[in-house]
Structure 1
């Protein structure tokens, strides 16, 4: 307990101290109220890249391992915490990308502060969250998709779920989730809810030795509010990480992709049932009554960025990649699940 009482979590922590603090957080003997108070304090400032890397490194040491993944494998994820209640754009992009030839190993969990988490959506679509690691590795090879359910690979984090739920605010663990994929894919598309998180999250990714390339993005909606994804409503700032280096930022503007502003709240879903209906409509193609063109545009934007990473192209090639993904959505696509799991 000495560490928690002698260091003020508001100030940046030395790397070794951050690692030890994370070990205390996941220790079953640490008082839950103390952990909650510490998480609330940490949430009052932007963490630094070395802290995030130390926190994630400590958790990765205790994670259940996953077999090595093929070169060109991608993860798409966001930090959550933007309060926008949009459809599951990064998850839907992860389901589309295998159709475009991109292997995806997505790591995620149930909703903590959002309407519908990636695991919630996939389970509702028929995905078996308890699927064994050896089967997931086979899925990745045969179908270019595997979903790694976070609790199965990070058992130490189970005790923190209730603490996070009771706090009701985004915590440091929203930021760590995207850094904890046990497959450690070489490519990553990562959305952050606040612009000030771009640099520390990119810096933390750059410290991961297995990462070859990543886009860290932060978008703005029509009202100027932050989104943890690339935006079809306003500008998106992109930081590129390449082989341990964080490159300069670039800004994407929807009109450069030929996009016009969508109707107000066109991307929002009220609950899990609506999120599921939107997902099924998207997969069914443009003729389905639940197909939302604005959601298709937003998913195609995330998928287009994923295509650039997979093909080692720069952002200047995004219009063509976006068009390819958007065209595929008009025709519909099948879930990249084993047939026994897919539900109509």
Structure 2
């Protein structure tokens, strides 16, 4: 493969998209460390500026899939939360979504980077909550069996992808690798539900097309700064893709009618962790968009067969949190 030829194709004033085969071969070389640093940086930045298409993202996902170690699925299917955004302007509440799901005895795997690259990563908040990263797939499996929750650094199942993502510190921006990471399949279990939060509408559509074509089970929404949780200030549209079909679970909320929720006092890991603890203790009400997303997760993972039933179960759980505060008073 000629990297110079590809650069000429995608870094011009009239760039073309790569074919799925070209993207697969190129990303495979990136993951395998087969591209010199200068050309690698130029290609990643050129793809970012051009904007990836569905075929490019799908081809890169195929390359990653063949180079990914996987966890063994348990008796219960897990919810997977790819966490590659981090908090920059808004608190990162991915750990809260995971801890809420754990209350229903649903196994939850969060995967992402340990370094937030200037943002507050989920790993930092989880540490404040006493949940440490697992260093290997075996330890992640043990943590899931024991605690129902694990954070697995991306390098544990894809060292090549971890190396690419680390280039963010040198390039200064996220790139194709961060989008592909959200499509990573860490389990050998088709029942797994992956919650994918997109940063832009066109990327959300790319994720949708790939999940439909691949018949993957996924929840799709406009995430909060790239994280897979619903914005607590106004709910985005939340869709479920399963067996090649799509179902809208919640329409996007009109932000002008949304009440302002109580949010963490700061963006840092400690302030976010203390706020999460207060929510779980019933001292602070859980924002409605997260209540809605929690119900979507129960339905999407097959905890119940009916969305209305999922809403009712979550309403009872949220009510119990509120009652806990009243009993304490």
Same fold (TM over 0.5): yes
- Unaligned 5+ runs, structure 1: 333-344
Alignment-derived partner of residue 199 in structure 1: 205
2:327 aligned partner: none
CA contact (8 A) 2:197 2:228 kept: yes
Q: Does 1:107 align with 2:98?
A: no
- Per-residue CA deviations over 1:230-283 (Å, capped at 9, x if unaligned) read 23323512332111234569623279xx962336xx357332332333333334
Residue 313 to residue 187, structure 1, CA distance change in 2 (3 Å): same
Question: How many angstroms apart in 2 are the aligned matches of 1:113 and 1:315?
Answer: 38
Could you say which structure has the greater relative contact order, defined with CA pairs below 8 angstroms and 6 or more residues apart? Answer: 1
Residue in structure 2 matched with residue 28 of structure 1 by the alignment: 33
Question: 1:307 is matched with which residue: 295, 298, 304?
Answer: 298
Question: 1:158 deviation in Å?
Answer: 3.5
Please state how far the C-alpha of 1:321 moved relative to its aligned partner.
5.0
- Any idea what SS the aligned residue of 2:167 has? helix
Deviation, 1:329, is 4.6
Cα gap change, 1:153 to 1:268, in 2 (>3 Å): farther
CA–CA separation in structure 1 for the residues paired with 2:118 and 2:198: 14
Gaps of 5+ in 2: 325-329
Q: Distance in 1 between matches of 2:318 and 2:27?
A: 42
Q: 1:60 to 1:114 in 2, by over 3 A?
A: farther
Equivalent positions of 1:70-89 (< 5 A) are: 70-77=75-82, 80=85, 85-89=89-93
Deviation string 1:263-309 (CA, Å, 9 cap, x unpaired) is 6xx357332332333333334x134xxx5x4x654543432321221
Root mean square deviation of aligned Cα: 3.3
Using the alignment, how far apart are the partners of 2:320 and 2:214 within structure 1? 33
Taking structure 1 as the reference length, the TM-score comes to: 0.77
* Match 2:318 to one of 316, 326, 335: 326
TM-score (norm 2): 0.80
Q: Does 1:16 align with 2:18?
A: no
Matched, 1:168 2:167: no
Residues 194-233 of structure 1: pairs in structure 2 closer than 5 A:
194-208=200-214, 211=216, 213-218=217-222, 229-233=229-233
- How much does 1:315 deviate? 5.5
Instruction: Note if 1:37 corresponds to 2:55.
Output: no
